[in-house]
Structures are given as structure tokens and as C-alpha cells.
């Protein structure tokens, strides 16, 4: 990386009560209200140091946005080349669904074959900088392999608590890259309880979704890339598969930061969250106009990445959906399976079930006239279908 890079990371700030925290101290959630912390930056100064012209000549990975990332000294960056995944024109799929300008950003081409690589690169890098030697997390699948891979590269010990019925590829990936893996009866929420207990007992740092401030910083780079790859314009609509919600939350945060730096204007895409019918707490909360989402009882879907009964960042997800005039909807497992085949045959992209869910959601939104044929629509495929071969 370029030796002249400078960090503009200033502090951590609670997204709910506004309390500020020291960036040099290990923090997870707000010590006042227990809500999500965000990394904050001196964006006005950053805008004097970097701009789109400077960034375009940098290496094609997510650390091209180093100045607005939470690592202060670039020697601590732990990277496998994550980010700058392609945005693909999907004309045939668009014609099938009834959209003239349909795009898919394929996150399955990241290291460890999912968008989780972004968040864990950021979180592990910051853990290394803070002197943390052991990390833990609950995972329904892809996050475990990403965490253990980056931890291995950083020389940090990793511990994973995972439902027994998580995809085989995810379990094997975590084991092969050196994690201590414990399989549990139950869901990711049950695994989360165990992970947090073990973290407290053993002084491990728990990197559960949005329960620490740094994974979302890696995920937000999807928002930066969408703007950059589309020549600093943004699509009319973004549809995102939503479990813990760091994707939507991160992209929304990125748009705000870019506007403050003068890279984009105030326009925003309409953000839509899609969940599985068997686990749709965000959809229910959105339709009920609730600020928070009640935990989903008996969560059930083969799309393990969105089998998340409760999300600590629920209020942030719902805020992004509402402020953008977007929405939330659910799809069935069978619809996801059918659409996986359709996308593969029409576009040659073997999407994960969660990625397929976005196209099913688009079909529904077109049929109910919430999305028009001339809207430019971007779908996020969050991982490779190769991780789910036992479910095809």
C-alpha cells in the first residue's frame, strides 16, 4: 500500500444516543444504551486529501478507501484482495423480469466466496491494531470461513460457534483455516449467546454482526464501489438480502459519507430488504411501522445467511428502508431455489440462495408496480452458490 496514506478516523459514536467513545480503546457496543457504535471520520479534511481522481489509480480492492476506514496505521491491514467485485449487466434476466436496466454486483467473487470477506478483513485488521490475540463469533455460514481465514493471515486465534445444520462448506472452511469450531443445536442466536459467554470468560473479542464497530466499515465499501463503478451515479433501486443487516446499513452509511465529501449528491436509491418467509423479523417490523424488530420464533430457511431471528441493528436497517422510500418483503425457499436456476441459465452467475432472493423480490415488486420497467435496479448477490451444493 502507498506509504502516504493517512487515516481520518476520529472516534466512535453511538448510533442511538450519540455518546462518543475513544477510538484507541477496545469497544463493542455503546456503554450507555447498548446500541450499535459507528466509526466516525473527519470527512471535510479527508475530502481535501482524497477524491475520485486519486482513488481511481489505486489497487482494485476495498482498501483503496483507506482514509475512511478504521485502521489508523496501514501496516495492520490484513487483506486477501477483497472488494472491487464486478457489477454485471444482466439483460436477459432483466427481460425475463421486466426491467430494462438490471445489474448484479457479484460478491461471490470475493476471497472466501462471499461479501463477509469485507467485514472480516476490516474487523480482523482493527483487532490486530488494537493488540487483540483471540476473536470469536457465532455464524450461520459464510462469516465463519471469512473470520478464520483473515485471523489465520493475521496470526490471531479464532473460535467459531455454528449451528450443526450450517452448510458443510462453511464448517469445513473454518476448520481448514485453523478455527476452533463448536457446532451447537439451535440457531445463530443461540450460538451468539455461547460466543458472548466464552468471550467474557476467556477475554476473547466477539465480532458478532454489528456488536462491534468495524465489520460494518468493511461492508460499507460496497456502497463506495457502487458509486465509483457507476461513475459516481447511483441506481434507482438496490435490493439486498437481509439477515443481520450490515450490508444495507453499511451501504447507507457510505452514501452519507460520500455526500459529505462532495463525491455524490443527496439522491439515494430506494433500498429494499428481502428476507425468507420462514425468518422475516425486519419485514414484519417494517409493515407494522415498528422502530425495532421482535425476534422471530422458530426461524426456518435453507438460506443460512438470512436465517437470523433478531438483529441488534434492526433500527438502523428500518431507518434506511424508510428514509429511502424503499421497503421490505419476504420470499419462499422454493422461489429462491427456482430463481437460482433461472439466473444461472440466463446469466451464467451461480448465485447463493440469498442472492436469488433479491431477484424473486424484484419480480414481486415489479408485479405490484412498486418498481417500474425503466428503473435502474441493482441486485446484490452476497455469495457463491458453490457453498450450498447439498441444498440444490
Tens digits of per-residue pLDDT, 333-367?
A: 999 999 999 999 999 999 999 999 999 999 999 99
Nearest to 73 by CA among 22, 130, 121: 130
The C-alpha atoms of residue 247 and residue 58 are separated, in whole angstroms, by 24
- pLDDT of 251 higher than 60: yes
Please provide the size of the chain in residues.
392
pLDDT class of 217 with cuts at 50, 70, 90: very high
Per-residue model confidence as pLDDT tens digits over 85-109: 999 999 999 999 999 999 999 999 9
Dihedral (C-alpha) 232, 72, 216, 356: value to the nearest 10 degrees?
A: 60
pLDDT value, residue 159: 96
pTM: 0.96
Residue 325 dihedral angles phi and psi, to the nearest 5°: 60, 35
The C-alpha atoms of residue 124 and residue 135 are separated, in whole angstroms, by 8
- pLDDT of 69 higher than 80: yes
pLDDT value, residue 390: 81
- If you average pLDDT over every residue of the chain, what do you get? 96
- Quick one: what percent of the chain has pLDDT higher than 70? 99
Asked if residues 333 and 56 have their Cβ atoms less than 8 Å apart, the reply is: no
155-166 b/e (C-beta count within 10 Å ≥ 16 → b): ebbbbbbbbeeb
Mean pLDDT of 315-336: 98
The C-alpha atoms of residue 388 and residue 382 are separated, in whole angstroms, by 13
pLDDT value, residue 4: 76
- pLDDT of 203 higher than 70: yes
Nearest to 146 by CA among 83, 191, 102: 83
Per-residue model confidence as pLDDT tens digits over 271-313: 999 999 999 999 999 999 999 999 999 999 999 999 999 999 9
Which grid coordinates are listed for 346? 440466463
298 or 189, which is more confident: 298
- pLDDT of 265 higher than 60: yes
Which residue has 422475516 as its cell numbers? 280
pLDDT value, residue 2: 55
pLDDT class of 1 with cuts at 50, 70, 90: low
- pLDDT of 3 higher than 70: no
Asked if residues 272 and 239 have their Cβ atoms less than 8 Å apart, the reply is: yes
Give CA separation, 151 vs 74, 140, 390, in Å.
17, 18, 27
- pLDDT of 392 higher than 70: no
pLDDT value, residue 44: 98
Amino acid at each position: 500500500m502507498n506509504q502516504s496514506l493517512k487515516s481520518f478516523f476520529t472516534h466512535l459514536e453511538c448510533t442511538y444516543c450519540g455518546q462518543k467513545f475513544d477510538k484507541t480503546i477496545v469497544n463493542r457496543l455503546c456503554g450507555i444504551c447498548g446500541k450499535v457504535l459507528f466509526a466516525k471520520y473527519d470527512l471535510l479534511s479527508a475530502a481535501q486529501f482524497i477524491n475520485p481522481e486519486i482513488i481511481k489509480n489505486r489497487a482494485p480492492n476495498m482498501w483503496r478507501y483507506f482514509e475512511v476506514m478504521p485502521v489508523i496505521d496501514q501496516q495492520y491491514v490484513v487483506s486477501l484482495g477483497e472488494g472491487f467485485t464486478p457489477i454485471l449487466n444482466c439483460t436477459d434476466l432483466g427481460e425475463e423480469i421486466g426491467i430494462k436496466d438490471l445489474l448484479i454486483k457479484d460478491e461471490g467473487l470475493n476471497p472466501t466466496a462471499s461479501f463477509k470477506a469485507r467485514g472480516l478483513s476490516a474487523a480482523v485488521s482493527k483487532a490486530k491494531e488494537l493488540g487483540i490475540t483471540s476473536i470469536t463469533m457465532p455464524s450461520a455460514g459464510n462469516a465463519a470461513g471469512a473470520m478464520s481465514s483473515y485471523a489465520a493471515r493475521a496470526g490471531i486465534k479464532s473460535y467459531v460457534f455454528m449451528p450443526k445444520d450450517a452448510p458443510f462448506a462453511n464448517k469445513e472452511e473454518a476448520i481448514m483455516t485453523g478455527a476452533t469450531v463448536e457446532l451447537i443445536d439451535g440457531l445463530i442466536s443461540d450460538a451468539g449467546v455461547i460466543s458472548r459467554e466464552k468471550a467474557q470468560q476467556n477475554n476473547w473479542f466477539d465480532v458478532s454482526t454489528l456488536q462491534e464497530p468495524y465489520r460494518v466499515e468493511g461492508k460499507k465499501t460496497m456502497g463506495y464501489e457502487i458509486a465509483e463503478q457507476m461513475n459516481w451515479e447511483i441506481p434507482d433501486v438496490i435490493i439486498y438480502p437481509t439477515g443481520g443487516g450490515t450490508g444495507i446499513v453499511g451501504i447507507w452509511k457510505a452514501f452519507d459519507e460520500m455526500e459529505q465529501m462532495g463525491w455524490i449528491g443527496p439522491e439515494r436509491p430506494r433500498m429494499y430488504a428481502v428476507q425468507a418467509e420462514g425468518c422475516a423479523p425486519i419485514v414484519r417490523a417494517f409493515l407494522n411501522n415498528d422502530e425495532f424488530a421482535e425476534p422471530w420464533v422458530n426461524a426456518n430457511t435453507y438460506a443460512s445467511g438470512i436465517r437470523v431471528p433478531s438483529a441488534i441493528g434492526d433500527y438502523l436497517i428500518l431507518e434506511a428502508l424508510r428514509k429511502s422510500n424503499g421497503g421490505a418483503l419476504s420470499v419462499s425457499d422454493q422461489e429462491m431455489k427456482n430463481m437460482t436456476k433461472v439466473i444461472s441459465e440466463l446469466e451464467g452467475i451461480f448465485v447463493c440462495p440469498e442472492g436469488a432472493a433479491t431477484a424473486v423480490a424484484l419480480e414481486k415488486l415489479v408485479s405490484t408496480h412498486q418498481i417500474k420497467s425503466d428503473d435502474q435496479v441493482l441486485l446484490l448477490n452476497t455469495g457463491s452458490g458453490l457453498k450450498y451444493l447439498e441444498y440444490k
